[in-house]
A and B are shown apart, each in its own frame.
Chain A
Amino acid sequence: MKKAILLFYLLSAILPGMYTQLQEGNEVMGKITVSNCQNTNVKGVGYNKDGTEIMHSDDPMAQPDRNVIVSMHPLDFEPTLTLTDDAYISQSQQTFIPNVLPVVVGSKVHFLNEDEFFHNVQSYTPKARFSIGRRAPGISYSVKIKKTGIVDLTCDIHAHMNAKILSFDTPYFCRLNEDGSYSLKDLPDGKYRLEVFHPFCNKIIDEVEISGGKIFEFNYHLSGKA
């Protein structure tokens, strides 16, 4: 009898989860448009001494509009987190590429110096302070990101260099595509806080509810300086 009761409890605990997993996940997609988010007011620690010695990469991933991140934060369940295993930031032509990197909290971010001179990566963000020192070209160095939220990165040697790591406690996030579209698949039913992050725009925060394995479209417009 005890075994039967135990089996009943086990099944009642496992089956709903299995049902959820078997059920086709929801898809959230849409388009994000951007206007008036130009980086017209920059704070920083450097100032222009000789512009010829300051480099900027033309890589699209260094452009602000290619660094828009959409994330879905479950409000009524705890998501299973899988560490991001391809979290790379390179330093090329005195530019962090990409400029914004989303990762799951606890992931290791690998920094790679692709220039022909020293770079450093450091963060003064509380609870995420680190410095990797001067790193030679071609050498990669990893740092585990232990806190959630924004981790601001700078290079001690080139004051104009900066980037951000978005450390999430959710696995549901993606980068905006070149055409402004985004898509997040296999989202379980539930209520979510949807966030759209742009390096220079005000962040968009919305609350959405999805269910039934359907496709949901949410379009947003980013404007206004952050």
Chain B
Amino acid sequence: MHKFTQKPAVSQWIKRTLLSVCVLCAIQYNPFAQSVFTFNALADLEVSKAGEKSHYYYNEIDQNETDLRFGMSQLNLLVQLSPDSNWSFNGRLLLERDKGQKLDKFSTPQLNIQWLSNNRKMGVTLGLFSNPFGSFNDNQLSTQRNFIGLPLAYSYYANISPKIGYLPDMGDVTKVMIDDEVQWGGSILYYGGYTAGAMMSWNIKPAKVNWKIALVNGASNKLERFSKPTNWGIISRLKLQPTYYWEQGLSVSHGSFIQESEVSTLLEDLGMFTQTLIGTDFKLGSGFFEVSGELIGAFYRVPIFDSEARSFDTGANNDPLTVNSWSVYLDIKYEIPMIQGSYVAYRIDHLGFGKLEDSTSPQWDNHVLRHSVALGYHVSRNVLARMAVSTQQVNNKPWNKTQGTFRFVLTAHY
């Protein structure tokens, strides 16, 4: 049985090639003479406490860290080198808590070369860049987010894993070890929000109509950047500004995401299992108010995994299972004019799952409803303090504090 390797040699090769190209181009353009070098650094110091039934896959708080916890949660270094007004090299080095545990996960989520036309109407990005789907992925840095936690669509793990497809009650009830790892499923959109590939951006009408299309390495729920087989995906986003106080986005994403694993040889064609997303997002603003939100529909074609037989149930006609989910969140933010640099925000967030055919379960995962409140204050231009509390209801059960969270984050950024 094939043993899937987490970091195949090809990924290292692509990384090194990309880095070498960046360095060579930088030298070619003699950056010290005429280039613009921009760097930003950002560090998050966090205090958190959560209910006893918390889990990283439910509410981003590790199950062993529910007591009062204090520590650094994220360190970033962002660099941009622009030899001229047309070209730029962009990188983000990130050190973060691995699944909410130790601060030891190092990655380079952004590493790309970008070309812009002289009038900035057209742009091409090659490498690792933020997924253009939706409006939330644009807010990659904590300073750009009103809340500390991510919306459910970006963080709550549903019962579909990139290694085994669908399995009822995956992770929390049914624990299946694949490649020495318990399968927990995945979020609707990859929580990091980054993808790899090539993206074209066209400012059809600057500040009014912008269209992006990207050919990437997998569906939007894919976690692994480099996988075997190489997955594929296409993402497109149309951003409109009908009037000065209203922004509207329309997004679509489609791609494959099932990866090789110790059981994947039992499947004939991994590329036939796909995720399709459609979404729309909006932002309305006036004075010190801002209302924004996003609606995402997710449609999957996945294999069904039988945990007892450790095999796939592909059905009589070998057809993949078709399931869907819907997520919606609404953010309301008010900046307090009397206390410059402060705001209060409220989010209502829902993740709902469709019915499962031929099953006693009413839906293929538990519905989740979350309420969050956040307070923020810019201590100075370079220091942002945020405090947020959230509570969530799972599968319409009575409200309780078991998955509630309290988080306070002090962000220093330069």
How would residues 38 to 51 of chain A score, 1 for a CB under 8 Å from any chain B CB and 0 otherwise? 11111111111111
Contact present for B116 and A51 (CB under 8 Å): yes
Known contacts A48-B114, A116-B207; decide if A42 and B120 are in contact (CB<8 Å): no
User: How many residues of A are in contact with the other chain, CB < 8 A?
Assistant: 37
Is chain A's interface secondary structure helix, strand, loop, or mixed overall? loop
Contact present for A154 and B120 (CB under 8 Å): no
**Residue in B closest to A50 when the chains form the complex, CB atoms:** B201
How would residues 215 to 259 of chain B score, 1 for a CB under 8 Å from any chain A CB and 0 otherwise? 000000000000000000000000001001100000000000000
CA distance A42 to B36 in the complex (A): 8
* Least Cβ–Cβ distance between B12 and chain A, in angstroms: 25
* Least Cβ–Cβ distance between B320 and chain A, in angstroms: 34
Q: How many B residues touch the partner, as a band?
A: 35 or more
Q: Which of B35, B132, B285 contacts A118 (CB 8 A)?
A: B285
Known contacts A45-B143, A116-B207, A117-B244; decide if A129 and B285 are in contact (CB<8 Å): no
CB contacts (< 8 Å) of B380 on chain A: these are 124, 126
Is A24 on the interface with B (CB-CB < 8 A)?
no
CB contacts (< 8 Å) of B144 on chain A: these are 159
How would residues 182 to 223 of chain B score, 1 for a CB under 8 Å from any chain A CB and 0 otherwise? 000000000000000000011100111010100000000000
Contact present for A52 and B40 (CB under 8 Å): no
CA distance A44 to B39 in the complex (A): 8
CB contacts (< 8 Å) of B123 on chain A: these are 50-52
Contact present for A55 and B245 (CB under 8 Å): no
Is A7 on the interface with B (CB-CB < 8 A)?
no
Q: Which of B290, B335, B413 contacts A45 (CB 8 A)?
A: B413
Is B140 on the interface with A (CB-CB < 8 A)?
yes
Is A130 on the interface with B (CB-CB < 8 A)?
yes
Q: Which of B32, B36, B120 contacts A39 (CB 8 A)?
A: B36
Known contacts A52-B123, A131-B335; decide if A44 and B114 are in contact (CB<8 Å): no
CB contacts (< 8 Å) of B80 on chain A: these are 47-48
Is A195 on the interface with B (CB-CB < 8 A)?
no
Known contacts A50-B201, A134-B290, A152-B381; decide if A55 and B120 are in contact (CB<8 Å): yes
CB contacts (< 8 Å) of B130 on chain A: these are 49
Is A86 on the interface with B (CB-CB < 8 A)?
no
- Name, among A117, A125, A130, the residue most crowded by chain B CB atoms within 10 Å (CB to CB): A117
CB contacts (< 8 Å) of A117 on chain B: these are 207, 241, 244
CB contacts (< 8 Å) of B202 on chain A: these are 52
**Residue in A closest to B205 when the chains form the complex, CB atoms:** A116
Q: Which of A38, A137, A154 contacts B381 (CB 8 A)?
A: A154
CB contacts (< 8 Å) of B114 on chain A: these are 48, 51
Is A136 on the interface with B (CB-CB < 8 A)?
yes
Contact present for A136 and B244 (CB under 8 Å): yes
Known contacts A43-B414, A50-B201; decide if A55 and B207 are in contact (CB<8 Å): yes
Contact present for B40 and A47 (CB under 8 Å): yes
CB contacts (< 8 Å) of B285 on chain A: these are 118, 134
Is B398 on the interface with A (CB-CB < 8 A)?
no
Contact present for B341 and A129 (CB under 8 Å): yes
CB contacts (< 8 Å) of A42 on chain B: these are 36-39
Is B315 on the interface with A (CB-CB < 8 A)?
no
How would residues 15 to 52 of chain A score, 1 for a CB under 8 Å from any chain B CB and 0 otherwise? 00000000000000000000000111111111111111
Contact present for B286 and A40 (CB under 8 Å): no
Known contacts A52-B123, A129-B341; decide if A44 and B207 are in contact (CB<8 Å): no
Contact present for B37 and A45 (CB under 8 Å): no
Is B88 on the interface with A (CB-CB < 8 A)?
yes
Is B121 on the interface with A (CB-CB < 8 A)?
yes
Is B90 on the interface with A (CB-CB < 8 A)?
yes
CB contacts (< 8 Å) of B381 on chain A: these are 45, 124-125, 152, 154
Is A148 on the interface with B (CB-CB < 8 A)?
no
CB contacts (< 8 Å) of A134 on chain B: these are 245, 285-288, 290
Give the contacts of A88-135 with B (CB-CB under 8 A): 115-118, 122, 124-126, 129-131, 133-134
Is B173 on the interface with A (CB-CB < 8 A)?
no
Give the contacts of B38-95 with A (CB-CB under 8 A): 38-40, 78, 80, 88, 90, 92
Query: Besides the contacts A52-B210, A53-B210, A152-B381, what 13 more A-B pairs have beta carbons closer than 8 Å?
Result: A42-B36, A43-B414, A45-B381, A48-B90, A50-B212, A51-B88, A53-B201, A53-B203, A115-B207, A117-B241, A124-B381, A131-B337, A134-B245
By a beta-carbon cutoff of 8 Å, the part of chain B in contact with chain A is: 32, 34-40, 78, 80, 88, 90, 92, 114, 116, 120-123, 125, 130, 132, 138, 140-141, 143-144, 201-203, 206-208, 210, 212, 241, 244-245, 285-288, 290, 335, 337, 340-341, 378, 380-382, 413-414
15 inter-chain pairs at a CB distance below 8 angstroms, sorted by A residue, are A44-B40, A45-B40, A47-B78, A50-B123, A52-B121, A52-B202, A55-B206, A116-B241, A118-B245, A124-B380, A129-B340, A130-B340, A131-B337, A134-B285, A134-B287
